[in-house]
Amino acid sequence: MRLTLLTTRLFAVLLFSIAASIVAHAAEPESADLRYFRELVETRNYSLGQPVSPKITPDGKAVIFLRGGARDPVLRLYEFSIAEARLREIFSPEKLLQGAEEKLTGEERSRRERERQSLRGFTSFQLSHDGSKLLVELSSKLYLITRAGSRVTELPGESWIDPHFSPDGRAVAAVNGGELHVIDLETQANVLVTSGATEAIQHGLAEFVAQEEMARPEGFWWSPDSQSIAYQETDNSEVESRFITNPLHPETPPAKNFYPRAGTNNAKVRVGIVARSGGATRWIEWDREKYPYLARVVWKEAAAPLCLLVQNRAQQEEILLAADPASGATRELLREKDDAWLNLDHTPMPVWRKDGRDFLWTTERNGMWQVELHSADGAFVRAITPTDFNLDEFIDLNETDHSIVVAGGPDPRERQLFRFALETETKPEQMTHGSGRHDAVFGETKEQFVHRFNLLDGQAGWEVLRASDGTKLGTLPSVAERPSSLPKVELTRTDGPRAMDASIVRPHDFTKEKHYPVILVVYAGPTSKQVIAQPSNYMIDQWMADRGYIVVSIDGRGTPGHGREWERVIRGNLIDVALADQIAGLQALAKHEPAMDLKRVGAVGWSFGGYFSAMATIRRPDVFRCGVAGAPVVTWENYDTHYTERYLGLPSENAEGYRASSVLTYAGDLRQPLLLIHGLTDDNVYVQHSIQLSDALFKAGKTFNFLPLLGTHMQSDPVLRLRLQTRVIEFFDGILKP
């Protein structure tokens, strides 16, 4: 969008003002509350120093994991011996870099943005199937590390993307320059196995919407016998291009991104099979015009087929296909339909048994997520979890004792672990009990698992438990700092015709005789819950509360965790139901906590939450005295296809829904203070959105504040977060506590 001259001048004034403000703040001594917030951001809410991405070795004797320092985001590689409770550092990025700076390609930066990865160093690792070797990536180079002796070998080439061991551990496949390569680990030969890549055509990489919206970062899959690879070809030639300029370096050419806006062309995707030694590609056949989205690819068990899950553009129909790698032909295993939309399970489905006789599948067909058992031909066998269980995630299949482990439970704010029998209807076994959030990582033997816990009483960490009886076998060492105090959070449910999950955070010096202004920390959109039983989720809320506020969050309709009908009522209009529920929730909470002053309410959110904050401030000035809109989606026609069309359909088919859901529709009605915040190099919600709103508000003669940031959609730098949160709370102080 072209900028008007006045808008350009406004940007210059704002940037100068922000720079001057940061310099002035830097010269002042920090107050106690700023020191507390600095501690929060430098420790990443006390998460730095905790183990990351643990994997149990195939023999079940050790756990390999990543870990940084208490205030150090650089991840290093560690091994914890379970029997001896012995920790050793396998390798560190510092040893490889030898004082040099870590360098990332533009493609790798984009992938980390898609994965919300803000840590550095070894951000991931691969463990070979026999457990003897490790594969890490650093500064776009690949390194093979032997566990015994920690010997390091640099693999040939650089600028590698998404490396993966072959199942037999004798080769590594990775992408470079849009082509798939295979590196033989014995000979170090680097074989190019695909060809024909151009600026618009890539092989072995997932397209933007798959990475951002489908939770599918991978674009190739090894065959179980390690002899061939299924890979994705992405043709972006008909996808619109967007260009991002770094305003600090105008001498640098803009970065080009292929970004499919709602209603415009998507990337064309197909899947081919190629031998690990290269050669001709055999293409998998399905109706790609009718089912253009490649949602999942699963190829893990030798006795099970290569499976593809494909969706139509409306995401109201999907087909699970079994593919024949030899001929490219496919057959249908099962089909799902939904009049509103189909959600994708983040756990790649299906999960096959090793003998290929049947598979597990997750579905919302009966109103709530369930795990089902299906025979090899796709026929339904039985439901394993009931509809009233509130399944959150499938965790693991144990074929030895014929059971599965899942996360979920009756309270959607919590996340407990349960074991269900695979073939008989018996009462499930609850494996965890502490109030909070639990997760698990299983190894090949299934005899033990790594248990992650983050509890409301402040306990957090990773431990190794015996799978059969929960006996503690060890604790993964952590160097994370502990908070000096926990958030004063109350988890509740609102009264009224629709009970909604809600949280209330009060000041530590709260007195019920006072009346406090209210800050609504909000998301209010699909795919994300704000109200969860995890103290770290409320650390910043407590910081704001201790400035003299009551801070609340509410999960209304449209958010996950309460079933299909609760979530899908927003179909066709993204704001009206969400706005009505948040206001009803505020009113219900004020009856529960009379100290809330509903005449002084501000809203703050990021991304969809920023969109909601802008809408709430403009449309309901009688409720919201002010709002802070961080990286808001302003016009849904300018957001991506897979997310937007899932809820609003095509713009050509739901023009009224797009109009009603657009902030621009109501921009002329702004009467309360509004602070817009946006990263200038955001490649998810482009800064175009806030510029559009700024331009509309300026032309309508409205007064507002605009804070442009030198960053992307993900704000992780401690100094930036400190200054940003300080500016936000000062904005609220000036309006809600004059």
DSSP helix/strand/coil, 171: strand
Within 10 angstroms of residue 521's Cβ, the number of other Cβ atoms is 24
Please check the confidence at residue 11 and state whether its pLDDT lies above 60.
no
Residue 241 DSSP class: E
Question: Which of 33-47, 153-167, 569-583 has the weakest average pLDDT?
Answer: 33-47
Q: Return the domain boundaries, the chain.
A: 198-341, 345-478, 494-736
pLDDT bin (cut points 50, 70, 90) of residue 110 is confident
- Calculate mean pLDDT across residues 318-333: 98
Residue 344 DSSP class: P
Please check the confidence at residue 9 and state whether its pLDDT lies above 50.
no
- Calculate mean pLDDT across residues 610-633: 98
pLDDT at 4: 34
Please check the confidence at residue 649 and state whether its pLDDT lies above 60.
yes
Please check the confidence at residue 216 and state whether its pLDDT lies above 90.
yes
DSSP helix/strand/coil, 428: coil
Task: State how far the Cα of 734 lies from the Cα of 259, in Å rounded to an integer.
Answer: 39
Question: Which of 14-18, 652-656, 667-671 has the weakest average pLDDT?
Answer: 14-18
pLDDT at 5: 30
Cβ-contact 409, 390 below 8 angstroms: yes
Please check the confidence at residue 334 and state whether its pLDDT lies above 80.
yes
Within 10 angstroms of residue 331's Cβ, the number of other Cβ atoms is 11
- Calculate mean pLDDT across residues 84-105: 88
Tell me the HSE value of 248 on the side-chain side, using a 13 A CA sphere.
Answer: 8
Please check the confidence at residue 147 and state whether its pLDDT lies above 80.
yes
Which single residue is written with the structure tokens 């990865």? Answer: 117
pLDDT at 17: 38
pLDDT at 738: 81
Task: State how far the Cα of 701 lies from the Cα of 703, in Å rounded to an integer.
Answer: 7
Cβ-contact 197, 210 below 8 angstroms: no
Structure tokens at 580: 């009505």
Q: Which of 380, 314, 370 is nearest to 342 (CA)?
A: 314
pLDDT at 13: 34
pLDDT at 223: 98
pLDDT bin (cut points 50, 70, 90) of residue 2 is very low
Please check the confidence at residue 1 and state whether its pLDDT lies above 80.
no
Q: What is the pTM of this model?
A: 0.93
Bridge partner residues of 555 (DSSP): 501
pLDDT bin (cut points 50, 70, 90) of residue 28 is low
Instruction: Please enumerate in sequence order all residues whose Cβ is within 8 A of that of 334, keeping only pairs 6 or more positions apart, or say none.
Output: 319, 320, 361, 374, 378
Sign of the CA dihedral running 732, 736, 737, 738: positive
The CATH code of the domain at 494-736 is 3.40.50.1820
Q: What is the DSSP string of 653-672?
A: T-HHHHHHT-GGGGGGG--S
Summarised one tens digit per residue, pLDDT across range 471-480 is: 999 999 999 9
Task: State how far the Cα of 101 lies from the Cα of 344, in Å rounded to an integer.
Answer: 38
Task: State how far the Cα of 605 lies from the Cα of 685, in Å rounded to an integer.
Answer: 14
Instruction: Please enumerate in sequence order all residues whose Cβ is within 8 A of that of 127, keeping only pairs 6 or more positions apart, or say none.
Output: 55, 57, 64, 133, 134, 165
- Calculate mean pLDDT across residues 638-650: 98
Instruction: Please enumerate in sequence order all residues whose Cβ is within 8 A of that of 1, keeping only pairs 6 or more positions apart, or say none.
Output: 688, 691, 692, 695
pLDDT at 114: 64
DSSP collapsed to 3 states, 594-653: CCEEEEEEEEEEECHHHHHHHHHHHHCCCCCCEEEEECCCCCHHHCEHHHHHHHHCCCCC
Task: State how far the Cα of 214 lies from the Cα of 237, in Å rounded to an integer.
Answer: 21
pLDDT at 719: 83
Residue 536 DSSP class: G
Cβ-contact 503, 521 below 8 angstroms: no
Summarised one tens digit per residue, pLDDT across range 432-465 is: 999 999 999 999 999 999 999 999 999 999 999 9
Instruction: Please enumerate in sequence order all residues whose Cβ is within 8 A of that of 637, keeping only pairs 6 or more positions apart, or say none.
Output: 261, 262, 263, 644, 651, 658, 662
Summarised one tens digit per residue, pLDDT across range 672-711 is: 999 999 999 999 999 999 999 999 999 999 999 999 998 8
Phi-psi region of 433 (alpha: psi -120 to 50; beta: other; left: phi over 0): alpha
Q: Do domains 345-478 and 494-736 have the same CATH topology?
A: no
Q: Pick the residue with more confidence: 110 or 300?
A: 300
The Cα-based distances of 579 to 51, 186, 584, 624, 675 in angstroms read 39, 60, 9, 11, 19
Largest CA distance in the chain: 77
Q: What is the DSSP string of 74-109?
A: EEEEEEEETTTTEEEEEE-HHHHHTTPPP---HHHH
Please check the confidence at residue 7 and state whether its pLDDT lies above 70.
no
Please check the confidence at residue 70 and state whether its pLDDT lies above 70.
yes
Task: State how far the Cα of 502 lies from the Cα of 489, in Å rounded to an integer.
Answer: 10
Summarised one tens digit per residue, pLDDT across range 541-578 is: 999 999 999 999 999 999 999 999 999 999 999 999 99
Please check the confidence at residue 98 and state whether its pLDDT lies above 90.
no
Question: Which of 243-252, 266-275, 505-514, 574-583 has the weakest average pLDDT?
Answer: 243-252
Q: What is the mean pLDDT of the chain?
A: 93
Task: State how far the Cα of 231 lies from the Cα of 331, in Å rounded to an integer.
Answer: 19
pLDDT at 718: 79
pLDDT bin (cut points 50, 70, 90) of residue 497 is confident
Please check the confidence at residue 99 and state whether its pLDDT lies above 90.
no
Thinking of the domain 345-478, which architecture would CATH place it in? 6 Propeller (2.120)
